[in-house]
Structure 1
Amino acid sequence: MPRHRVGPSAKTRKTDAQIKQEIIRESIASYRGSCPCPYNTDRAGRRCGVRSTYSRPGGRSPLCFEQDVTPKMVGDYRKKTGQ
């Protein structure tokens, strides 16, 4: 049986949800503190909750949830990565 070569155009395209998760991971990775998002844990192992940067008003807020990632961000990611 002949084998078919799969070219770059046949690569599986990431879903919007997968891209949103990647953008969130990158956002959290770029944060220097120990409590970027409510679901993270601090150095003592306690859940960050309302102590997280995300939960505090003002300042830089990391992207923590899919609803924080806009369609424009997804589009920009696709352009940047060829997805």
Structure 2
Amino acid sequence: MKKYLILIALIIAVPIDAKQNTQSTAQIKQKIIQQSIAAYPGNCACPYQAASNGSRCGKRSAYSRKGGYAPICYAEDVTPEMIRQYKARYGGS
């Protein structure tokens, strides 16, 4: 009986740990994106941001232009190496 309870506890705990790990990675990706946007000197780092006149930046954004600044705007742009460096620098939080 004890074995079954332990097995059930492990089955329940594993998906919870995986979900927490995914959320942690997603949060780190968001922080990396926020830091990248904050480091850009203008107000059109990413296509989804608003220009000073209130219009969407779109293709005028630094992200959409070749050369110069290359801000990180989307979670897909964040590499595993960036996450590793972030965790090393900030302790994973």
TM-score, normalised relative to structure 1:
0.80
2:53 maps to what in 1? 44
* Matches of 2:81 and 2:42, distance apart in 1: 27
1:1-83 correspondence runs (5 A): 15-83=24-92
The CA deviation at 1:41 is 0.3
Aligned-pair identity in percent equals: 50
More helix by percentage? 2
The CA deviation at 1:67 is 1.0
* Matches of 1:57 and 1:40, distance apart in 2: 18
Which consecutive unaligned segments of at least 5 residues does structure 2 have?
1-19
Q: Provide the aligned length of Structure 1 versus Structure 2.
A: 72
Q: State the one-letter code of the partner of 2:39.
A: S
The CA deviation at 1:81 is 1.2
Kindly provide the CA deviation profile for residues 48-70 of structure 1, in whole angstroms up to 9, marking residues without a partner as x.
00110100111121100011110
TM-score, normalised relative to structure 2:
0.72
Q: State the one-letter code of the partner of 2:46.
A: C
| More relative contact order, 1 or 2 (CA 8 Å, 6+ apart) | 1
Which consecutive unaligned segments of at least 5 residues does structure 1 have?
1-11
* Aligned residues of 2:25 and 2:83 also touching (Cα < 8 A): yes
* Matches of 1:48 and 1:37, distance apart in 2: 7
